[in-house]
Structure 1
């Protein structure tokens, strides 16, 4: 059951708007240690994303901190970036599409109702110089607590996220899959084992983690025909996170990396951020990615991890292992008259994008057009 927060007003709430990560770091770490949050709300993730993606896109940090009076402990922190939508200056979450869940950080005793939160955002907009907030891909609740920023009037995000609770034992995990599904996986694994030595690697560190991440990026670039994985911001971001909290897993065939997973573990939840497998038909037809995913689930279970998610976006393999479809919302908050005029058009664009994303035929055509345009 979701826990709600009692409603109050903006009385005596002071506001800081930081353009420096370090200036906000102390407040950030206090709130992240206790607030409902995923790994994507960590200081390190947001900072590394900005240094690779955000700065190159001309974004400016806009980190909003609310507190009960000047110098008091923080009640809320919104990790935002100032950008432009055409001529319109807007604020959106740091992390871009690399962040699968977007949330503000709120102290347990934060008592701002929807009206007060809108007023706070308008105040911050005057300091940050934005006309509109576009707060996308927000879960309506997280860790059983209602998300205060999923304000009334929010629109359904274009895509869902997918997750599941992990059982206590491997036997219970196996029972979630049909006998036919388990038989098919065993046959695929046996087929690969006939080709060479098959090894599952979990929690690689140091140079080995980097080697696996290099393979992940190369496999993504080849299979998706997307050179952005081979160089530039994505490569710098992924390899930069290697030295931090990014957890790396691989399946090898005769020491060759044929499938990978990378993600984060935070408070008993593993969030998968990236995965890959080799494009060669002889290997790919044995579903090395699925085999590694099932091995990863067993590894997480053995470590006592209770929750698992595969992030935003529809895919067959997600439905195969996740029994929870997580509805996300996009929240638009106009801060000026110009923002209020622009919001209906942007809302219509979000609805149109959702219509495409939830129509498999339209999505397939769009994906092909994007591939051809590269």
Structure 2
């Protein structure tokens, strides 16, 4: 999934390969020399950058979480100070890093806009800058970023960045990093659903689907819906908030969707849609029951799309309804099968190690955090972030220890 193999008939000739290698080396050398000439500006508003921003985000490999509309919805809801970093070279925009300042224990932390609800972050880079990958002078780049943020933030913390995404290395490689404790899980799509299933244990999965179908029919039946009306989409999102709140309460965990700003942000995403470029900010999918439970929602999920990339943002189930059918997994079957033939290449289950994700996703992608101190206090905060992140990774890599810490967390509430 991360790299593509050329068919034998498509292999470049030896001369062509040498030419491509020479061009690549010249591009890398040019980028290293150009780093000294890149000018980094800081903006406290999004609007002056909209034209350049929308041009950069057209690249299919840039995360939808750094898209202009996505960030605008968050900024409108939270109203945090912005410190958006724009790099310019030879009169052209080389990159935009959409950053906001989050106050934490008296420190100013520069983070990606909406970082707390992002499943993958890439930043926005011009194609030439993006394809330079590890050729950038990382030490000089880090120094320029520090200089740009001085007096605005103590720490630059850019989280959940894959070092390589669908064959392209991030230009942020070489900056001070720590591996995030959470990985992401993806299911590559093939032209037909049956081909996609072959990556998994297709026989057992089909058998499980048949059993789930029979149990749901025995309980009165079901319907899988993706309502097109905006009003119904907003109503379903409110149902998700209710179901998820009950789930968090049962586990003794804080509800990360409870605050009004987060709910306003997610509602704002629902009305963002552009069929021409295969984009929608948030779309609700639902498994609704019939019979004695007519109209009740057994499972619900919200997905986003940019080009051929689908990201599952969240999901919830009503634990009181048809628990023996695993309605959440049944809903994923309906969603994934229904997206075939619609130009999708990758279904992304997002961050977090869950059993259902591993059962559906044959690809696991490690994410990394850029941890770049800007001030002396930022050095301490960066060290603390590294220690905490590595500690969480250590715990999550040991199922028994992780289960124990989860039980303690639930008791504390």
**Fold shared per TM-score above 0.5:** yes
* 1:140-173 Cα distance to aligned partner (Å, 9 max, x none): 1123210111325522111111112111112213
The correspondence for 1:108, drawn from 115, 122, 127, is 127
How do 1:1-374 and structure 2 match up within 5 A? 1=3, 6=28, 7-9=31-33, 10-34=35-59, 36-52=61-77, 54-55=78-79, 59-69=80-90, 72-110=91-129, 112-126=136-150, 129-151=152-174, 153-175=176-198, 176-202=200-226, 204-225=228-249, 229=257, 232-244=260-272, 245-254=281-290, 255-280=295-320, 282-374=321-413
221-230 or 23-32, which moves further after superposition?
A: 221-230
Displacement of 1:335 in angstroms is: 2.5
Closer/same/farther in 2, CA of residues 60 and 367 from structure 1, 3 Å limit = farther
2:327 and 2:175 map into 1 onto residues whose CA distance is 43
Displacement of 1:8 in angstroms is: 1.2
The two structures, once aligned, show a CA RMSD in angstroms of: 2.3
Aligned pair count reads 366
Structure 1: segments with no counterpart, 5+ residues: none
Q: Secondary structure at the match of 2:83?
A: strand
Q: Secondary structure at the match of 1:157?
A: strand
Q: Secondary structure at the match of 1:116?
A: helix
1:31 and 1:203 map into 2 onto residues whose CA distance is 31
1:23 and 1:328 map into 2 onto residues whose CA distance is 31
Q: Secondary structure at the match of 1:302?
A: coil
Closer/same/farther in 2, CA of residues 275 and 17 from structure 1, 3 Å limit = same
Q: Secondary structure at the match of 1:28?
A: helix
Closer/same/farther in 2, CA of residues 231 and 135 from structure 1, 3 Å limit = closer
Closer/same/farther in 2, CA of residues 203 and 37 from structure 1, 3 Å limit = farther
Do the aligned partners of 1:77 and 1:104 also contact (CA within 8 Å) in 2? yes
Closer/same/farther in 2, CA of residues 228 and 338 from structure 1, 3 Å limit = closer
Bigger radius of gyration among the two:
2
1:123 and 1:181 map into 2 onto residues whose CA distance is 54
344-353 or 301-310, which moves further after superposition?
A: 344-353
Q: Secondary structure at the match of 2:369?
A: strand
2:259 and 2:379 map into 1 onto residues whose CA distance is 39
Displacement of 1:227 in angstroms is: 5.1
155-164 or 29-38, which moves further after superposition?
A: 29-38
1:205 and 1:228 map into 2 onto residues whose CA distance is 27
Do the aligned partners of 1:166 and 1:306 also contact (CA within 8 Å) in 2? yes
* 1:168-200 Cα distance to aligned partner (Å, 9 max, x none): 112213433342332122112211111123111
Closer/same/farther in 2, CA of residues 80 and 320 from structure 1, 3 Å limit = same
1:349 and 1:227 map into 2 onto residues whose CA distance is 21
More helix by share: 2
2:42 and 2:70 map into 1 onto residues whose CA distance is 19
2:407 and 2:76 map into 1 onto residues whose CA distance is 31
1:343 and 1:311 map into 2 onto residues whose CA distance is 25
2:353 and 2:117 map into 1 onto residues whose CA distance is 15
Displacement of 1:326 in angstroms is: 0.4
Q: Secondary structure at the match of 1:60?
A: coil
* 1:306-344 Cα distance to aligned partner (Å, 9 max, x none): 111011001000001100010111121123344335433
Q: Secondary structure at the match of 2:337?
A: helix
